[in-house]
A and B are shown apart, each in its own frame.
Chain A
């Protein structure tokens, strides 16, 4: 039994999960699994069902149909919950208490937590550890909550938008801790609006839209779902002319540079050089995760998030 558990490779799983809120279907048969040792990023447009998926895995909500499992147990069982750490969105803690007190309290719920002072030191939040939570900045509050999430020495860590409100430096520090934790064998499920964050951290990305899984794989695999390329250049060829070329999908112009989206970069480049021998500053870029996301999901703005 012990060995079987140690060898367990799927730590959390949703199978055909349906969840409706009134007439709105938040999840429509979502399949999702988090494997041991990986950092899975959950991405998708607003309202895609990311938060609902997390809620089901945490046992905060029950699927209408399908199943949610945590360590092969009911997510509401305390045994399963003792193996996870949680950082939720939209949680405001008591303004009169202090980060050190929050971390110590949360740590007390776990069988073998980290030492509170060690957590504070690891996150570099010594300066705010004994200040009232109510007086902290948004980013500092997220840091305190991150401390509460990791203090229980979790096997699986849920991070819901962990870096909202953090400055660049703090975000980098938090990313480093996340990478270290994965290195130490902790599995992480992360939802984020910053695709850059998913690209920087994720071993695997799960793209969710309309309550379903539309793609899952490494960042490269997701990108490969779209064969589009972006070409930027300075050319005398007008936007209207470019738009008329059959291989060109989209054209826009920004501060004197044309931006061309195409599935056939070679043809477009040949045509461009033929039409304007003086074309300068040519740059060809493979589609980013944001482009892939835009292509995979219904959200037209997803690309601009990057």
Chain B
């Protein structure tokens, strides 16, 4: 009955933190409504999109994209549901208030829930890696596996903060619906399930609003896939979202007497505390805005894409990645300047209008040389999932030969693809395609405005395909509707 009751040994405090972590983990493990979807859904989707569909199409790229996507999906659910639904429920049931009354060590509840969410992500990421290696036979480096794992495990934090914020606003009953209303749309809108290219430009532009977009781009860049925005920008956006939602949530909770972090407010003049609060809010908003504005910028991939050997399915000779590398590209940089009124190229098969009719589409396209430039116009239809219309050039092509037998060009020693473009103001893309027609090509977006503009594409940006085996270079669009653009002075040097 004296002050010794106030003192508590460090090891006991540590044990209390540890005990809370175990408690939260046990609790969530025993809640199938939480544990089954968070652990199984990403794996299920990966089996479907990455293993079954990926190998059915003999396509390593698709498996890789699926791997990145469902890793992010696995990082979303434990954060959003673990913090959103459970917190709303426990707040409503008085459990949070009870924990304020007992001498729970500072922040233990939050820490335990965070660790719980991270452990769930660790389990699903690890399972994804194992499936990628042994089921999809993807060739991932150890570095890629480690980066993938930690990126997702840490990447759960912004979703924890977002979930927590929602959990402080809505009732336990409403929380699952609200969280799903966030979870599902942002998964689609940041391209976890469908390629961004099939979304309207307006939705593509706002993708950096979703934290999933930033985590996905980070993951893709690490795996050597196409990505936009620099890693710094994505990290800034994720950090900003974490701090912002977390501080908003804490603010809301403290209004109802719940202080999850500290004990008594340790004084400090009110204006100073206000200033600190405003500072935190300002900085996090700044980071977030930087991320949103810069999160879609073109970004040079620096990693080499991992590839897959497929799953033992034999691929036609000339289209397999085991095919011999292409003919080294000529030293001359100029491909075409259209000055002679022809769509001829200095090597290979000249530019020819191409659409998606062969793949069952209904897009139409026509091209002509106007004032020394190639004008391409037409209309992209909606008959197939990935429509396309534009103009294409086979650098090592021969007339009258099947696609599969067309030759490769080795561009690995070249640095930059450049051209001039103008048009109706829409966004277009230049694509480089490797061996198989159904692979996802390397793509680079550009806008064709009313004035001529120089576009330089570092070939590093196209590194998601094998630059030693380039079969096709196309300019065009996948966005449904009428289009018109001109290109000139196409160079590769």
Contacts and interface: CB of A to CB of B under 8 A. Distances in A.
Interface in A187-240: none
Nearest to B265: A76
B102 A155 contact: no
A131 interface: no
A277 interface: no
A245 interface: no
Contact of B5 (A83, A93, A96): A83
Contacts of B1: 6, 155, 185
A108 B11 CA distance: 11
Interface in A1-53: 1-2, 5-6
B19 A88 contact: no
A60 B264 contact: no
Contacts of A185: 1
A185 B100 CA distance: 25
A82 B6 contact: yes
A82 B94 contact: no
Contacts of A274: none
Given A76-B263, A91-B93, A91-B98, A108 B12 contact: yes
Given A92-B93, A97-B26, A108 B3 contact: no
Contact of B103 (A81, A97, A112): A81
21 contacts: A6-B1, A60-B97, A60-B101, A76-B259, A77-B263, A78-B263, A80-B6, A81-B101, A82-B6, A91-B98, A92-B95, A93-B93, A97-B30, A105-B19, A109-B102, A111-B7, A111-B9, A148-B102, A152-B102, A153-B5, A185-B1
Most central of A88, A94, A96, A148 by chain B CB within 10 Å: A94
A153 B8 CA distance: 13
Nearest to A1: B3
A91 B91 CA distance: 10
Contacts of B274: none
Contacts of A58: 100-101
A6 B15 CA distance: 28
A88 B23 contact: no
Contacts of B332: none
B8 A82 contact: yes
A170 interface: no
Interface in A159-175: none
Interface string B98-119: 1011111110000000000000
A73 B251 CA distance: 25
B16 A109 contact: yes
B27 A94 contact: yes
A82 B103 contact: yes
Interface in B1-41: 1-9, 12, 15-16, 19-20, 23, 26-27, 30-31
B268 interface: no
A4 B102 CA distance: 25
Interface residues of B, number: 37
Q: Which secondary structure characterizes the binding site on chain A?
A: loop
A111 B4 CA distance: 8
B185 interface: no
A259 interface: no
Contacts of A155: 1, 5
B263 A108 contact: no
Contacts of A158: 101
Interface string A92-104: 1110110001001
A5 B19 contact: no
Contacts of B94: 88, 90-92
A62 to B, nearest CB: 8
A67 interface: no
A114 interface: no
B312 interface: no
B103 A78 contact: yes
Contact of A86 (B6, B101, B263): B101
B7 to A, nearest CB: 6
B94 to A, nearest CB: 4
A5 B103 contact: no
Given A60-B100, A97-B26, A108-B16, 8 more contacts: A60-B97, A78-B103, A78-B105, A88-B97, A88-B101, A97-B30, A109-B105, A152-B102
A83 B6 contact: yes
A93 B7 CA distance: 28
Contacts of B264: 59, 74, 76-77
Interface residues of A, number: 43
B143 interface: no
A77 to B, nearest CB: 5
A217 to B, nearest CB: 25
A94 B95 contact: yes
B257 interface: yes
A101 B26 contact: yes
A78 B97 contact: no
Contacts of B263: 76-78, 81
Sorted nearest first, the 9 A-B pairs with minimum C-beta distance are: A76-B264, A79-B6, A92-B93, A96-B30, A91-B94, A81-B103, A111-B8, A82-B103, A86-B101
A116 to B, nearest CB: 11
A95 to B, nearest CB: 9
Interface in B223-265: 257, 259, 263-265
B175 to A, nearest CB: 15
B19 A97 contact: no
A106 B104 CA distance: 8
Contacts of A101: 23, 26
A52 to B, nearest CB: 11
A108 B15 contact: yes
Contacts of B106: 78
B2 A5 contact: yes
A92 B359 CA distance: 59
Contacts of B100: 58-60
Nearest to A102: B23
A2 B3 contact: yes
A215 B467 CA distance: 90
Given A74-B264, A96-B31, A110 B103 contact: yes
Interface in B66-116: 90, 93-95, 97-98, 100-106
Contacts of B265: 76
A58 B20 CA distance: 22
Contacts of B23: 97, 101, 105
Contacts of B90: 94
B257 A111 contact: no
B12 A111 contact: yes
A80 B20 CA distance: 21
A230 B93 CA distance: 44
A106 B27 contact: no
Given A5-B2, A109-B104, A96 B27 contact: yes
A104 B16 CA distance: 10
A104 B103 contact: no
A216 to B, nearest CB: 24
Given A55-B257, A93-B95, A105-B20, A5 B3 contact: yes
A112 B5 contact: yes
